[in-house]
A and B are shown apart, each in its own frame.
Chain A
Amino acid sequence: MLAFNFFGATEGGLFDINATLPLMAIQVVALTYILNSLFFKPVGNIVEKREKFVSNNIIEAKNKLSEVKKLEADLLTQLQSARTEAQRIVSEAENESDKLYKEALELANNEANASKEKARLEIESQTSAARDQLSKQADDLSELIVNRLILEK
């Protein structure tokens, strides 16, 4: 049953090289062109399109991330400056109000002192006026008494 017919056969044999060889070569070349247009080109297009899409998206996302980081840093510095500004304004206002308070206090003190002094002077003048009047009335009275005593005699 085993029909081995290796070398030296006039017909057939394992190493029987004939026109099958060039025709097979032509067939493979044709297959290359067919597969190129049917398989390699379309699949390559779609795969490379997707790869480009993915890498573009990655680049875009990276750009956005860096932008976000930049904005974050910006906002942080803005926040920092706003804080110091607010601190400055608060302390300024505190100083201002302190100054105003002191000024008002001084003004009120001065005014109080002035009116106290004025009142004291008035009291003094009124006291002396009253004393004058009193002594005058006493003079009058003594004169009257003297006159009456003289007259009765």
Chain B
Amino acid sequence: MFFNSLLTNFAALEVGQHLYWQIGNIRLHGQVFLTSWILLGGLLVFISLGTKKMENDPKGLQNLLEFLWDYIRDLARTQIGEKVYRDWMPFIGTLFLFVFVSNWGGALIPWRLIKLPSGELGAPTADINTTIALALLVSLSYFYAGLSNKGWRYFEYYVHPTPIMLPFKILEDFTKPLSLSFRLFGNILADELVVGVLVFLVPLILPIPVMFLGLFTSAIQALIFATLAAYYIGEAVEEHH
């Protein structure tokens, strides 16, 4: 009886239910903030431990962090270009780390064991608010990057090969954040749902390959998000000749 109820609780799916926090007039999705604070706290602890005692000959965690740094630098440099990648590397790296930690944290930590009065804990990136926030930040960044690097000449980009491109380029400014946010949201939510449904139907062994697939997708999504963000910024600062 106990086992049965544990399983049903463990496997219960709650979609579109949120733990609401009411602060004055505004309402927040509490579960998103709770998980993001836990995960980002872990990330910050990890990073502070790794950078606490840095030496010229890297050891242990410092090695891993330097590898991560190098990876992010390569990503930013190839997409944004040699000239301005330094300015945007922290932003691209933060996007990558945030999305990656959120995705993997959502997939790896058994949040469902923690019962909430309403909704359930999970990857912060499975909430549309988070992904739209990230996507809008990317939009703002590439506008800012283009305007601060090229001034008003940034708008030449809209008519770049021919003025016929103008409506499409304007449309792109809307489709970019839309596709960014929905791709991430859809992938992570779908992964959580698939794992949830499988766990609900067959609680043992069978969900494990799907969970591995989910880890793979999560990492890929983080990489795609960061790469696209860097690519959009690179596109905005690129000089046309």
Contact = CB atoms under 8 A, between A and B. Distances in A.
Interface in A31-57: 31-32, 34-36, 38-40, 42-44, 46-47, 49-50, 53
A6 B133 contact: no
Nearest to A24: B133
A13 to B, nearest CB: 5
A20 B129 contact: yes
Given A20-B29, A22-B133, A47-B66, A38 B47 contact: yes
B15 to A, nearest CB: 5
Given A21-B136, A32-B90, 15 more contacts: A1-B12, A2-B15, A3-B15, A13-B16, A16-B18, A17-B132, A20-B32, A21-B130, A24-B36, A27-B36, A32-B91, A42-B51, A43-B54, A43-B62, A44-B89
Interface in A1-35: 1-6, 9, 11-25, 27-29, 31-32, 34-35
Given A17-B129, A40-B93, A5 B16 contact: yes
B54 A20 contact: no
B75 interface: no
Given A15-B128, A32-B91, A20 B16 contact: no
A12 B19 CA distance: 9
Nearest to B36: A27
Interface residues of A, number: 41
Given A39-B51, A47-B69, A3 B132 contact: no
Contact of B16 (A6, A18, A42): A6
B205 interface: no
Interface of A: 1-6, 9, 11-25, 27-29, 31-32, 34-36, 38-40, 42-44, 46-47, 49-50, 53
Main secondary structure of the interface of B (DSSP, over half): helix
A36 B90 contact: yes
A1 B89 CA distance: 45
Contacts of A27: 33, 36, 40
Interface in B186-231: 189, 200
Contacts of B13: 1-3
B17 A5 contact: yes
A139 to B, nearest CB: 129
Main secondary structure of the interface of A (DSSP, over half): helix
Chain B interface residue number, banded: 35 or more
Contact of B17 (A12, A18, A23): A12
Contacts of A35: 47, 90, 93-94, 97
A25 B26 contact: no
Contact of A20 (B47, B69, B90, B130): B130
A19 B27 contact: yes
Given A40-B69, A43-B66, A28 B16 contact: no
A16 B132 CA distance: 12
Nearest to A37: B90
Interface in B82-127: 89-91, 93-95, 97-98, 119, 124, 127
B65 interface: yes
A27 B151 CA distance: 28
B237 interface: no
A21 B133 contact: yes
Contact of B133 (A25, A46, A53): A25
